[in-house]
Amino acid sequence: MDLLIKNGTIVTAVGSYEADVAVEDGKIVAIGKDLDGDAKKTVDATGKLVLPGAIDAHTHLAMPFGGTVSADSYLSGTRAAVCGGVTTVFDYPVQHKGETILGLINSKKEICEKEACCDYAFHCCITDFNDGEILDEMEEAVEKGITSYKCFLVYKKEGMMVDDGMLATLLLRAKELGAMINVHAENPDLIDLRVDQYLKEGKTSAWYHYMSRPEFVEAEADKRVVHWSTHLDAPVYIVHMADKEGLEACIKAKEEGHELYVETCPQYLEFTCDVYKREDGRNFVCSPPIKGQESQDALWKAIKSGFIDTVATDHCPFQSYEKDWGKDDFTKIPNGCAGVENLYPYMLGAANAGKIPFEKAVELCSTNVAKIFGCDNKGDIAIGKDADIVIYDKEKDFTISVNNMHSDYDHTIWEGKKIHGYPVQTYLRGQLVYDNGEYVGTPGDGNYIKRSPKK
Ligand code: DUC
Ligand code: ZN
Ligand code: ZN
């Protein structure tokens, strides 16, 4: 036996209990009371929680965007991930005209083989069908484990938008192949209209980022996605849900029995659009923007009632000097914020504060992600699963600061946030990679996760 974690409280999506966990060759091989045997390493987890590693279903690492490249490389982003208890990330490479899915994914895999500090999977963003070749190629890509594809309904001027016809085609093709379509839902024409109007009026502060894409701009696109998905009877996963009206349309479709999944992000659960009135409002600029209190309340309510399936980060940080490009013009602010290291501590902190059960935090950040996206060996503390394990100390106080994060960015929207309870160790397939504030793994430790299509 390689590792024995003793006397901890195991938390899964369905319950908590005291037991020991034995690990061999990177897998959980036994769970039970008073396990013994010759372990190479024994860890005393008395008084601590033993959790499955989180799976961040939404990152943009080294992403060319907004006139620059997002500030975390595959190395620094995944290093930060494990230091926050995330043991798998799903990144979003963007396919452009002329590019094949596997050409793009293989180029990212090559980087990750050297750099990744946690396991990794890819959702591929489709922006062009290459005269139909992409639709054919999807079959081979699904066989190679790329079982989810993203459609941006926005970023029209940037050449990344998928129109309604392409969305419908992709929904049907994915259904045929047992794959999933993930959608970024906002209405680009409404945004452009409003942006032009504000710029003409000289309204250029970060507040007008929010005002140009408020609740109803997201809701229209959410409802369009629900409409297509339900009428075509094709599953869909809406990423970074941030508005109440769109969420309500999803809840209704779910209640009617449609296969529709909803993801939200910690920034939408913690902040309101008032942050855009702050002096440093540009640092919070992401799309969709953070909405009003009513939307935030609706998101928490839906988490508690089981209508939100996952919480992921949309991790896409930029440096301060890049955010500053938009000091006098909100359209020049690169969109995106940091979060991968904060996801699990934030959601577990909410559990520790009594807002949700710990089981719910595990379900949203790990178990559901593994189930929805076909990571058969992840998302649970159970025999046969990968030994992706987080030891969590309910009593440890932590104040987030850019100085105690493990990314490459120079500021964070989470600066000063106090969290009661924090991960103290992260194991990636049985190997200790984070230990009490320190990254102790080796870049390249991460493996590509080949995912299974839906049956
Ligand atoms: N939104 C962001 O804020 N950043 C990256 C991409 C996106 O859709
Ligand atoms: Zn998005
Ligand atoms: Zn995103």
Atom 7 of ligand 1 has which residue's CA nearest to it? Answer: 287
Q: Does one domain contain both 148 and 292? A: yes
pLDDT at 83 over 90: yes
Mean pLDDT of the chain: 97
Last residue of a domain, one of 335, 354, 372: 372
CA dihedral angle for residue 255, residue 261, residue 263, residue 269, rounded to 10 degrees:
10
Residue 225 lies in a domain: yes
287 lines ligand 1 (CB under 6 A): yes
Cα angle 240, 331, 71; round to 5: 60
Q: 91 CA distance to ligand 3 centroid (A)? A: 9
Q: Does one domain contain both 281 and 405? A: no
Alpha-carbon distance values, 159 to 112, 155, 365 (Å): 26, 6, 31
As a whole-number percent, the residues of the chain with pLDDT over 70 amount to 100
pLDDT at 169 over 80: yes
Q: What's the pLDDT score for residue 427?
A: 99
Last residue of a domain, one of 320, 340, 372: 372
Domain assignment of residue 43, given as a range: 3-51+380-435
Q: Check which CATH number belongs to the domain holding 87 and give it.
A: 3.20.20.140
Q: How many CB atoms lie within 10 A of CB 339?
A: 27
Residue 264 lies in a domain: yes
pLDDT in tens, 183-199: 999 999 999 999 999 99
Q: 194 CA distance to ligand 1 centroid (A)? A: 19
Pocket test for ligand 1, best of 65, 68, 285 (most atoms within 8 A of CB): 65
Which neighbouring-strand residues pair with 428? Answer: 431
Q: Does one domain contain both 90 and 17? A: no
What's the chain's Rg over C-alpha atoms?
A: 21
Q: Does one domain contain both 307 and 402? A: no
Residue 442 lies in a domain: no
Q: How many CB atoms lie within 10 A of CB 248?
A: 16
Nearest to 58 by CA among 154, 182, 158, 171: 182
Taking the CA of 92 as reference, the closest ligand is 3
Taking the CA of 285 as reference, the closest ligand is 1
The alpha carbon of residue 311 and the mean position of all alpha carbons in its chain are separated, in whole angstroms, by: 6
- Provide CB contacts within 8 A for 76, sequence distance 6+: 406, 407, 408
Atom 4 of ligand 1 has which residue's CA nearest to it? Answer: 336
The alpha carbon of residue 432 and the mean position of all alpha carbons in its chain are separated, in whole angstroms, by: 23
- Paired tokens of 208: 């007008």
Residue 287 lies in a domain: yes
Q: Check which CATH number belongs to the domain holding 399 and give it.
A: 2.30.40.10
Taking the C-alpha atoms of residue 299 and residue 247, their distance in angstroms, rounded to an integer, is 8
Q: 60 CA distance to ligand 3 centroid (A)? A: 6
Q: Does one domain contain both 119 and 26? A: no
Q: 183 CA distance to ligand 3 centroid (A)? A: 10
Q: Which atom of ligand 1 is nearest to the CA of 336?
A: 3
Taking the C-alpha atoms of residue 125 and residue 104, their distance in angstroms, rounded to an integer, is 10
Residue 181 lies in a domain: yes
Alpha-carbon distance values, 175 to 94, 155, 233, 239, 453 (Å): 21, 25, 9, 18, 10
- Provide CB contacts within 8 A for 176, sequence distance 6+: none
Residue 446 lies in a domain: no
Which one-letter amino acid corresponds to residue 134? I
Atom 2 of ligand 1 has which residue's CA nearest to it? Answer: 336
- Paired tokens of 373: 């996206």
338 lines ligand 1 (CB under 6 A): no
Q: 335 CA distance to ligand 1 centroid (A)? A: 5
Q: Does one domain contain both 431 and 342? A: no
The band of 455, judged by pLDDT with boundaries at 50, 70 and 90, is confident
Q: 59 CA distance to ligand 3 centroid (A)? A: 6
183 lines ligand 1 (CB under 6 A): no
Q: Does one domain contain both 305 and 417? A: no
Residue 156 lies in a domain: yes
Nearest to 385 by CA among 10, 9, 8: 10
335 lines ligand 1 (CB under 6 A): yes
Q: 152 CA distance to ligand 2 centroid (A)? A: 7
As a whole-number percent, the residues of the chain with pLDDT over 90 amount to 98
Q: 396 CA distance to ligand 3 centroid (A)? A: 31
- Paired tokens of 62: 């080294």
pLDDT at 36 over 90: no
Q: Does one domain contain both 7 and 131? A: no
124 lines ligand 1 (CB under 6 A): no
pLDDT at 167 over 80: yes
Question: Is 249 within 8 Å of 219 (Cβ atoms)?
Answer: yes
Range 189-218 average pLDDT: 98
pLDDT in tens, 376-418: 999 999 999 999 999 999 999 999 999 999 999 999 999 999 9
The band of 69, judged by pLDDT with boundaries at 50, 70 and 90, is very high
Q: Does one domain contain both 223 and 117? A: yes
> For the chain, how many residues are written?
455
Taking the C-alpha atoms of residue 22 and residue 5, their distance in angstroms, rounded to an integer, is 6
pLDDT at 25 over 80: yes
Q: Does one domain contain both 188 and 252? A: yes
Q: What's the pLDDT score for residue 284?
A: 98
Alpha-carbon distance values, 80 to 240, 364, 386 (Å): 20, 20, 20
Q: Which atom of ligand 1 is nearest to the CA of 63?
A: 5
Last residue of a domain, one of 318, 346, 372: 372
Taking the C-alpha atoms of residue 20 and residue 35, their distance in angstroms, rounded to an integer, is 6
Residue 306 lies in a domain: yes
Pocket test for ligand 1, best of 268, 287, 322 (most atoms within 8 A of CB): 287
pLDDT at 113 over 80: yes
DSSP state, residue 448: B
Q: Does one domain contain both 68 and 163? A: yes
Atom 8 of ligand 1 has which residue's CA nearest to it? Answer: 287
Q: Please count the structural domains in the chain.
A: 2
- pTM metric for this prediction: 0.98
CA dihedral angle for residue 280, residue 282, residue 288, residue 294, rounded to 10 degrees:
30
Q: What's the pLDDT score for residue 37?
A: 79
pLDDT in tens, 427-440: 999 999 999 999 99
336 lines ligand 1 (CB under 6 A): yes
Taking the CA of 286 as reference, the closest ligand is 1
Taking the C-alpha atoms of residue 76 and residue 417, their distance in angstroms, rounded to an integer, is 21
Q: Does one domain contain both 197 and 325? A: yes
